[in-house]
Structure 1
């Protein structure tokens, strides 16, 4: 059944409200999950509603939380998510960072005591609309081993970037530092499908094509078959979003994929840069088009974010197809 984006947001928000979220948290989270679904990112869309609702009901998420800025110094600021869902805190962090970057030229906004933050680059849409270059980072419950290790320590630790353009969609880059996002294993397990070799290890450290065994075991970092580079990048992100801002390491947070466990208290970080503080906005906008023109000389090159933006626009006009069982879950 196809639903308009507004209808779907209302259904998701209602489900989260019934599970114990306050109105601000429910509405902000609903917008983010429906936006992910509209872009075809189903592992970060409606499939997360039951997960978040379960965490609200068992107390793993503080449904009464209201994010607030804890401290500021120059272009740096720290936002406390108060153990609630991450979306209101991330939105507050990016809005405050935009204001700080306008004044300071660059800003670093950390979010502590947080939860799963969905599609990281979507938080940076506000930065692009303000003409800012934005970088985003997050950790998550342990899913990947350190280089040479066997037991999970780091999360899948996504990295995102947004680069605004003149009269065009921004470049939107978003990638997990695992070979694939862990949410893809969640979806495969739910649908009874196997996963390709090279995505995950079982709890004994052996390669597996069983998605549930992979979720019970560990994910492989990007390039893990031939290089430790992916694990090294995961280490960098882990430290950026924990040691600097007082959030939990991935191995200190219970899995997102179970209802019982601790409040994750993980972290996110956003770095915003005002091009006017450096070469100047006009110079930046000119130079990025030079690079894009060169990239597009080769047939088959697709600009990052182009596909998801096309799907989002289609969803805005045509609505989003929702399976009957998902619709029943949301209404229930």
Structure 2
């Protein structure tokens, strides 16, 4: 199977996005996120999504030339209106101010509204941890989870992410999980390939368990932990839609396919300076927690597989099958 460097993937992805109507800033920010997903072995959020992004640029579901607008309605409360562009460029605009404000104030928030799928949420929170701060992130999505006991989707898979600094310019660990048993992109990936999904991932339109990925996409996603998953989805909706002033998932157009206009969903980030709130005790307390997790037989810190994939891919490159390689080159204007 052909291999590509992460840098080559980023360069070609940016070219493809520009070719389909994205501005330089929009293309560069999103391409970095796509390459980051491939770098960490999360194929469901990497190049698999590039044709969708290009389609959404050409059909107007994403405004390729959008210029995010930054504001500071209160000293530690920051807002970026993405203008129906990609979330990545809006986050890039607001992140430096979020980091600076959290360092000086101890805590700060960044709300992103009128945006789009932000890809791997941990890609963004990890950057907060790399700056020495604890990062917490939320992103809402079009409705695909029904309330407990119901059949109609009212909440999205709504991921949340926590990234904790290691004090050395990196992240000690990163959590990134959706409110559903599995990310919806995994079901989409199997639907495209004709693969079955494990029972317990999705329900069909009648609310019955299914192993048919296509039927699951017509129904609802199973919430992680039963009613507790619905609670997690609601928590994220409050932050990423309500507090951010973005569109609730029940009103947002889908991230897949050309139907509907811009989804205008949102993200919400919180950055905290650990030594300010802990009185300088953060590192020692964190060491106790991490050591306890590592001492448990078979235990591992969240994000361990992502870190292992990153190390392997850094030396070996990304495996890209011939079909995906041809798609990437074609979208970038370099294929047949």
- Scaled to the shorter chain, the TM-score interval is over 0.9
Q: Which sections of structure 2, spanning at least 5 residues, go unmatched? A: 331-336
- The answer as to whether partners of 2:7 and 2:35 remain within 8 angstroms in 1 is no
| 2:38 aligned partner | 37
Instruction: Measure, in 2, the Cα distance between the counterparts of 1:322 and 1:280.
Output: 48
The corresponding residue for 2:334 is none
Q: Which residue in the other structure is 1:243 paired with?
A: 242
Conserved 8 A contact 1:177-1:221: yes
Name the structure 1 match of 2:11. 10
Question: Counterpart in 1 of 2:123?
Answer: 122
Q: State how far apart, in whole Å, the 2-side matches of 1:176 and 1:286 are.
A: 30
TM-score (normalised: structure 2): 0.94
Query: Which of 170, 189, 201 is equivalent to 1:187?
Result: 189
CA–CA distance in structure 1, aligned partners of residues 98 and 224 of structure 2: 30
Partner of 1:147: 148
Specify the SS of the correspondent of 1:184: helix
Match of 1:276 in 2: 275
Structure 1: which 4+ aligned runs deviate by more than 3 Å? 166-169
Aligned Cα RMSD in Å? Answer: 1.3
Residue correspondence of structure 1 range 242-261 to structure 2 within 5 A: 242-261=241-260
Measure the CA separation in 2 of the matches of 1:245 and 1:169. 26
Q: 1:166 Cα deviation (Å)?
A: 3.5
CA-to-aligned-CA distance 1:33-56 (integer Å, 9 cap, x gap): 111112111111110101111110
Aligned to 2:233: 234
What are the Cα deviations for residues 49-89 of structure 1, in whole angstroms up to 9, with x where unaligned? Answer: 01111110100000001222133302111111110111111
Q: Does 1:173 align with 2:175?
A: yes
Whether the aligned pair in 2 keeps the contact of 1:177 and 1:233 (CA below 8 Å) is yes
**Cα distance in structure 2, aligned partners of 1:69 and 1:248:** 18
Residue 222 of structure 2: aligned partner: 220
The answer for the alignment partner of 2:265 in structure 1 is: 266
Aligned length: 328
Q: CA deviation at 1:301?
A: 1.0
Matching residue within 206, 209, 227 for 2:208: 206
Distance change (3 Å), C-alpha of 1:169 and 1:273: closer
Q: 1:205: Cα distance to partner? A: 2.0
What CA distance in whole angstroms lies between the structure 2 residues aligned with 1:178 and 1:303?
21
Mapped to 2, the partners of 1:239 and 1:271 lie a distance apart of 14
* TM-fit CA distance, 1:169: 4.2
Q: Which runs of 5+ in 1 are unaligned?
A: none
The Cα offsets for residues 223-277 of structure 1, whole Å up to 9 and x where unpaired, read as 22xxx11111211211211122211011111111112322000010001100122
1:72 aligns to what?
A: 73
Query: Given that residues 58 and 260 in structure 1 are in contact (C-alpha distance below 8 angstroms), is that contact kept between their aligned partners in structure 2?
Result: no
Question: Contact (CA 8 Å) 2:129, 2:171: kept in 1 or not?
Answer: no
Q: Contact 1:124–1:135 (CA<8 Å) still a contact in 2?
A: yes
Residue matched to 2:308: 310
